[in-house]
Amino acid sequence: MTRSDEILSTFQDIGEMSLRNWRERFPDYRPLGFLSGYVPEELFHAAGFSPVFLLHGREGCGHAQAHLPGFTCWVVRSALDRALSGELSALAGVAFAHTCDAVQALADLWPRVVPNPPALYVAMPHHLAAPAARPYLLAELQRLRERLEQITDRALSDEALRESIALHNRTRALVRQLYEVADRLPAPALHTALQAAFLMPKEVYNPLMADLLDTLEAHAELALAKGEDPKGSPKFLGSQHHHRPRLFVVGPELADPTLYQVIADAGGRVVGDLLDLGQRYFARAVGETGGPLEALAEHTLAMLPTPTKYHPQRRREAHLLDMVSAGEADGVIFARQKFCDPHGFDVVTLKTALDKANVPHLLVELEQTPHIGQMRTRVEAFLEMIGA
Amino acid sequence: MPKYPRLQSLKAINRVMERYYVKRKLMARLKPMAYVTSGAPVEILETMGVLTLYPENYGALCGARRDAVRLCEVAEEDGYSQDLCSYARSHIGAVKQPDGAPLNGLPKPDLLLCCNNICGTVLKWYEVLADHYSVPLFVLDVPFQREPQSEPHAVQYVTDQLEALIAWTEEVTGRRWKPKKFREVLALSNETVSLWGEIRDLGMHKPSPVNAPDLFVAMAPIVALRGTRQAVQVYKGFKAELKARVADGVAAVPGERYRLLWDNIAIWYRLYRFFRPFMDAGACFVTDSYTNAWSAAEPVDLDDPLTSMARTLLAVYINLDLETRAGIVADLAQRFAVDGMVMHANWSCKPFSLTQSDIQAAVREQMTLPTLMLEADMCDSRRYNNGAIRERIAAFLEMLG
């Protein structure tokens, strides 16, 4: 097994690991769950926690049914299911930021329904360019900081926060590099490496990721030395590296790697994404000068918004078109979670923009259990169409 | 079949709403026209002489006229999923294909005011409208109120935006802000809200002079005409009629046997038909959490209107935390002496529906309240399983004994 295979296999293990085993795997860290791409990970980290995203699993114990109607998205139902099954009891807490109505409802009923772990809630502006969005968000972050100080019974210093920001910025830089070589990686490997960033302590993830990138770099150099096209890196993409359609994936978070596997099997590769927990999440570093809390607020407002937020100047369709053109993508796949309202509207706006720009696209609807056969047929047909 | 006495005021209210729509069709070219969400501070626009229309109210109209499914399908052809809000789908469908839609569609807006204190969907919906009509959009961002009392930084955040809204409306419409007129409008708005509260409270009488579907018809002015004389006038008439019923011992459901509480938005395409089996069994919906949303607030303080208005916007029922909402439901159940509750698990409305089971649980901790939970949709009749719902209603009524 090569070093890169080894690292990818470690990432994959972690992706498949139950949170029940998290503490055993990382005994030096205290896990804290979070849901939604707007939770300020650094603040929790500076308070001594390792934020772990509550990615939904395919399995459900059905306990959430007693609380949430069937027309609730699986992302939210799964989180409650896992909490009620006891899988999350080793977490120090679960953090929610106000994003969509469903996550909001979950945060709202959590204290009543889930005795442990406790919920931590961060309100967020929805209009990111509103006149007073910045002071409001800053007040929220300050409130959260005080709450964390109460919980841990120790001060959360600016210095600790700065260190956490630097650590997370390192993760961001590494994941950005990962995207730079994304077209050389099989889609499932990209998915696995990305997802691991949300599931393990950054202190452990960063060096592994740096190693992985070094190995990939070495392969590319070797390929160049041999006069091969490094973009079709033989190690990772196999021999037939011509005309593998370059795809962009749009959606919320993708806990389930099925879509990426299906894309790879059909001969496509993923060169970038507009996932809530994808490229946009890592695109910008948090400022490392000035007040750290201010820098976090600034960062939240400056990120490309997810569809739950509004920013008149940061349009997602303009961003998508730029990305598609910069990444020389051949097509876009929308991975829409069933019952997700914000993405349900967003898909229409984005696809209208893609139609105008003559970019082909395909909508795949995700449910609790993916319909793999159907997904495969549709993705294959789509790739055939854009490959022709 | 039993006969039920009719409320004459509902006809007057329907006439006011017809005039409201006709007037807007006629005046749309003379005055600036704004689309607004149901929880928005319409009083600010009313002060500026801006006409307002409510796409949500229009969605309800599409539902009531049974045009919603056809219009939803128009939106679905454009890619809007069937699991999105049916108000939004109905309205977007009518925007795309106004011919044959109720009122042949709404007149075009010149500006849009979206306040997200009712849901996140309106934010997306209004972005679609802003793009479609290429008109300016003001998003009034009202944070979820997670504690019973509004937090100072949230009040400040909303107040700052209200100030910005006034400046924005001046800029967009070229009209001047008139503080004195604002006081007048607020006074009328306060009067309308308090009349609405008094009207709803008449349901406490035994037997109740009013049934929830009556309130669903009667609520249009409290949503769309707050801050106007017409609303005050028409509600004074409605209140007088209900008081006369009380004095004469006239019941909305003659021989009232059970008093019930309704939770969630109405089922517009079966407004009276849905309630008929309840009425036939002597059950009257004497109160509801839906129309209560426009009466619970304290009056706006005329001496500090923006801060006070910010508090009101934050404290909209659907923007409150679960325990507070459960407290409101339990309080209604107690004050109106109800025997049971019917909860509409509404596909279209996640803020109303996702916490319903736990609101029920929280209420149950305070009192015994037989509850029927029914899954349906406010406008999309494809979500209405008539056979199953009929049987469950019959079983519920039997259980009430």
The phi-psi region of residue B362 (left if phi > 0; otherwise alpha if psi is between -120 and 50; otherwise beta) is alpha
Q: What is the enclosing helix (H) or strand (E) of A33?
A: strand A31-35
Best mutation target among B77, B114, B141, B317 (most A Cβ atoms within 10 Å) is B141
Whether B150 and B314 have beta carbons less than 8 Å apart is answered as yes
Q: Which amino acid is residue A106, in one-letter code?
A: L
Residue B315 C-alpha, separation from nearest chain A C-alpha, in angstroms: 15
**CB pair distance less than 8 Å for A344 and B80:** yes
Q: Is the pLDDT of residue A234 over 50?
A: no
> Per-residue DSSP letters for B287-340?
EETTGGGGTSSPPP-TTSHHHHHHHHHHT-GGGB-HHHHHHHHHHHHHHTT-SE
Distance from CA of A306 to the nearest CA of B (A): 12
Q: What is the mean pLDDT of residues A278-290?
A: 96
The Cα–Cα gap between B206 and B187 comes to 32
How close does chain A come to B334, measured CA to CA in Å?
22
Q: Is A121 helix (H, G, I), strand (E, B) or coil?
A: strand
Give tens-digit pLDDT for B148-167: 889 999 999 999 999 999 99
Judging contacts by C-beta atoms under 8 Å, the chain B residues touching residue A307 are: 124
**What count of residues does chain A have?**
388
Instruction: Report the residue of chain B nearest A71, measured CA to CA.
Output: B347
State phi, psi for A361 to the nearest 5 degrees: -150, 160
Nearest CB partner across the interface for A310, out of B80, B123, B128: B123
Would the CB atoms of A105 and B347 count as touching at under 8 Å?
no
CA distance B123 to chain A (A): 7
Chain A residues lying within 8 Å of B160, measured CB to CB = 131-132
DSSP letter (8 states) at residue B262: E
Residues near B152 by beta carbon (within 8 Å), at least 6 away in sequence: none
State whether CATH 3.40.50.11900 applies to domain B193-400: yes
User: Is A112 close to B358, i.e. CB distance below 8 A?
Assistant: yes
Q: From the candidates B95, B157, B383, which should be mutated to test the interface with A, based on the most A CB atoms within 10 A?
A: B157
The minimum CA-CA distance between B230 and chain A, rounded to whole Å, is: 34
pLDDT the model gives residue A233: 46
Comparing alpha-carbon positions, the chain A residue that sits nearest to B348 is: A71
- Interchain CB distance below 8 Å, A345 and B125: yes
CB contact under 8 A, B120 and A131: no
How close, in Å, is residue A229 to chain B by CA atoms? 40
Nearest partner of B43 among B293, B223, B215, B259, judged by Cα:
B223
CB contact under 8 A, B141 and A133: yes
Does residue A220 have a pLDDT over 80?
no
Q: Read off the pLDDT of residues B82-127 as tens digits, 9 standing for 90 and up.
A: 999 999 999 999 999 999 999 999 999 999 999 999 999 999 999 9
Q: Which of A112, A338, A341 sits opposite B121 (nearest CB)?
A: A341
* Closest of A297, A236, A239, A304 to residue A276, by C-alpha: A304
Using CB atoms, which residue from A98, A121, A345 is nearest to B124? A345
Which is it for the CA torsion A108, A110, A115, A117, positive or negative? Answer: negative
User: Cβ of A100 and B356 within 8 Å?
Assistant: no
For A112, the token pair is 């009543």
Taking residue A136's Cβ as centre, other Cβ atoms within 10 Å add up to: 24
| Cα–Cα distance for residue pair A172/A180, rounded to 1 Å | 12
Largest CA distance in chain A: 63
pLDDT at A129: 95
CA A167 to chain centre: 17
| Residues contacting B311, CB < 8 A, separation 6+ | B150, B155, B298
Nearest alpha-carbon partner for A293 in A143, A114, A84, A179: A143
Are A322 and A298 in contact by the 8 Å Cβ rule? The answer is: no
Number of H helices, E strands in chain A: 16, 8
Task: List the single residue in B128, B139, B353 with the smallest CB-CB distance to A69.
Answer: B353
Q: Residue B337: left (phi > 0), alpha (psi -120 to 50), or beta?
A: left
User: How many CA atoms does the CB half-sphere of B293 hold within 13 Å?
Assistant: 25
The 10 Å CB-count burial string (b at 16+, else e) for B232-270 is: bbbbbebbebbeebbeeeebbbeebebbbbbbbbbbbbb
| Cβ neighbours of residue B11 closer than 8 Å, sequence gap 6 or more | none
Please judge whether B79 and A121 are an interchain contact, meaning their C-beta atoms are less than 8 angstroms apart. no
Confidence class of residue A177 from pLDDT cuts 50, 70 and 90? very high
Nearest to B322 among A109, A342, A365 (CB): A109
**Using alpha carbons only, how large is chain B's radius of gyration in Å?**
20
> Which residue in the set B141, B156, B321 is minimally distant from A126, CB to CB?
B141
d(CA B137, CA A104): 25
A306 interaction partners in chain B (CB closer than 8 Å) = none
Cβ within 8 Å, pair B120-A344: no
Nearest C-alpha of chain A: how many angstroms from B160? 6
| Contact: A100, B351; criterion CB under 8 Å | no
CA-nearest residue of chain A to B352?
A: A105
Whether A231 shows a pLDDT value over 80: the answer reads no
Residue A239 pLDDT class (50, 70, 90 cuts)? very low
One of 3.30.70.2740, 3.40.50.720, 3.40.190.10, 3.40.50.11890 is the CATH number of B8-180, namely 3.40.50.11890
- The SS3 of residue A377 is helix
Query: Who contacts A125 (Cβ-Cβ below 8 Å, separation ≥6)?
Result: A133, A136, A137, A301, A309, B141, B143, B157
Q: Which parts of B89-178 are beta strand (E)?
A: 111-115, 137-140
**Residue pairs between chains A and B whose CB atoms are closer than 8 Å:** 144
Q: Could you read off the pLDDT tens digit of each residue along chain B, which spans 401 residues?
A: 568 999 999 999 999 999 999 999 999 889 999 999 999 999 999 999 999 999 999 999 999 999 999 999 999 999 999 999 999 999 999 999 999 999 999 999 999 999 999 999 999 999 999 999 999 999 999 999 998 889 999 999 999 999 999 999 999 999 999 999 999 999 999 999 999 999 999 999 999 999 999 999 999 999 999 889 999 999 999 999 999 999 999 999 999 999 999 999 999 999 999 999 999 999 999 999 999 988 756 889 999 999 999 999 999 999 999 999 999 999 999 999 999 999 999 999 999 999 999 999 999 999 999 999 999 999 999 999 999 999 999 999 999 98
Pairwise CA distance, residues B177 & B158, whole Å:
19
Pairing of strands B111-115, B33-36: parallel
Q: What pLDDT does A226 receive?
A: 73
CB contact under 8 A, B144 and A312: no
Cβ of A104 and B124 within 8 Å? no
Question: B354 vs A131: CB contact, 8 Å cut-off?
Answer: no
Query: Which residues in B lie closer than 8 A to residue A349 (C-beta atoms)?
Result: 127-128, 131
A101 and B121 within 8 Å at the Cβ level: the answer is yes
Question: What residue of A is the nearest CA neighbor of B136?
Answer: A312
Report which of A137, A128, A141, A171 is spatially closest to residue A304, judged by C-alpha positions: A128
Which residue out of B92, B137, B153, B307 would a mutagenesis test of the A interface target, given it has the greatest number of A Cβ atoms within 10 Å? B153
Distance CA B335, CA B299 (A): 21
Q: What is the pLDDT of residues B232-284, one digit of tens each?
A: 999 999 999 999 999 999 999 999 999 999 999 999 999 999 999 999 999 99
How far apart CA A338 and CA B339 sit, in angstroms, is: 37
ipTM over 0.85: yes
Residue A150 CB: number of other CB atoms within 10 A?
Answer: 9
Phi, psi at A333, each rounded to 5° = -115, 120
What element of type H or E holds A206? helix A202-225
Cis peptide upstream of residue A307 (ω within 30 degrees of 0): no
Taking a C-beta distance cutoff of 8 angstroms, is the pair A228, A216 a contact?
no
From B139, which residue of chain A is nearest by alpha-carbon distance? Answer: A127
pLDDT at A238: 45
Question: Angle at Cα B329 formed by Cα B328 and Cα B333, nearest 5°?
Answer: 115
Query: What are the residue boundaries of the structural domains of chain B, listed by start?
Result: 8-180, 193-400
Q: Searching chain B, which residue's CA lies closest to the CA of residue A69?
A: B354
When computed from its CA atoms, the radius of gyration of chain A, rounded to whole angstroms, is 20
Instruction: Decide: B22 and B2 in contact? Cβ < 8 Å.
Output: no
Inspect the interface and report whether the beta carbons of B124 and A346 lie closer than 8 Å.
yes
Most distant pair of Cα atoms in chain B: their distance: 63
Distance from CA of A71 to the nearest CA of B (A): 6
Selected for mutation to probe chain B from A345, A349, A354 (highest B CB count within 10 Å) is: A345
Whose tokens are 């400040």? That residue is B156
